[in-house]
Amino acid sequence: MKKTLIDYKEAIKQLPLKDKYTKDELLIEPFLIEENEKLQIYYAPHNEYFNPRAKVFIVGITPGFQQMSTAIAIARKEFEKGNNIEEIQYACKVAGRFSGSLRKNLIEMLNRLELNKALNIEDCSELFGNKDELLHTVSLVPYPVFVNKENYTGHTPKLIKNEFLMKYVYKNFMEEFKRLDNANEILLIPLGRAVEEVLCKLKAEGIIGEDQILFGFPHPSGANGGRKVQFEANKESMMKLIKLKRAFFMSK
């Protein structure tokens, strides 16, 4: 069963009120969900809000520590205000989804692919603002994953070959995907090759349909040195798929 804010409410309330936390404050036993060899999975609340009417599904590997810290800081403040769980879950999603430079780079690339025009919006930044009903963001593994307390990148160990992590893909990601109103039409944007590999596997298994995956989209991290080269190499094919999706984007 997926862990939620209800399970971690008291642990979060024990934290001091802060805008950011350190690893020493969050990578602790009360937030540890599971571990296997060098992998540790910790709790974070920013993948709990669900938008079933989305047209675009941006898929990451796992939340990183920055997203974990941001989401837990928001939850801590919202608990102080006494807001209900659903309101806090939405607030955590809004604050934590690809925050910081990741979001900036992501928006820039989506605009260059003219996704904004296909969606009939001015700028893809609106997907993270007043047009967020068009977007759902999710991670293949819904919780932060670390290798010896460093962000897991999907490669060491290789995600698609790791049973410990892939069980989260089938038990959590796939269940969420199936709940979408338009699961067989929605555009899936994988952030990086590790995510793309998993989505290809699910496509081969008949879970994801044809013409749904935006192949070749780079991970937006500033640490991805090949981001711009990969984007330019795949730009034409990605724009072609987005244009094919325009009728779906315009449907009610």
Q: What is the pLDDT of residues 91-114, one digit of tens each?
A: 998 887 776 788 899 999 999 999
Phi, psi of 12 (to 5 degrees): -65, -40
Q: Mean of the per-residue pLDDT values for the chain? A: 92
Q: How far apart are CA 68 and CA 12, in angstroms?
A: 12
**38 assigned to some structural domain:** yes
**4 assigned to some structural domain:** no
Longest dimension (CA), the chain: 50
Per-residue pLDDT band for 216 (boundaries 50, 70, 90) equals: very high
For residue 238, what is the domain's CATH number? 3.40.470
Report pLDDT for 1.
57
Q: How far apart are CA 57 and CA 212, in angstroms?
A: 10
Residue from 3, 84, 94, 98 nearest 51 by CA: 94
Q: Is the pLDDT of residue 159 over 60?
A: yes
Residues linked to residue 56 through DSSP beta bridges, in sequence order: 135, 187
Give residue-wise pLDDT tens across range 25-73.
999 999 999 999 899 999 999 889 888 899 999 999 999 999 999 999 9
Residue from 74, 77, 73, 67 nearest 100 by CA: 67
**3 assigned to some structural domain:** no
Q: How far apart are CA 84 and CA 161, in angstroms?
A: 39
Per-residue pLDDT band for 151 (boundaries 50, 70, 90) equals: very high
**7 assigned to some structural domain:** no
Domain tally, the chain: 1
Number of neighbouring beta carbons within 10 Å of residue 103: 17
Per-residue pLDDT band for 3 (boundaries 50, 70, 90) equals: confident
Which residue range is the domain that position 45 belongs to? 18-250
Q: Is the pLDDT of residue 88 over 70?
A: yes
DSSP 8-state secondary structure symbol assigned to residue 144: -
Q: How far apart are CA 79 and CA 84, in angstroms?
A: 8
Q: How far apart are CA 196 and CA 126, in angstroms?
A: 25
Q: Are 26 and 69 in contact (CB under 8 A)?
A: yes
Provide the percentage of residues in the chain whose pLDDT is more than 90: 74
Question: 3-state DSSP call for residue 245?
Answer: coil
**11 assigned to some structural domain:** no
Report pLDDT for 249.
92
Give residue-wise pLDDT tens across range 123-132.
999 999 999 9
How is residue 6 written in tokens?
Answer: 């209800």
**67 assigned to some structural domain:** yes
Q: How far apart are CA 125 and CA 130, in angstroms?
A: 9
**10 assigned to some structural domain:** no
**2 assigned to some structural domain:** no
Report pLDDT for 179.
87
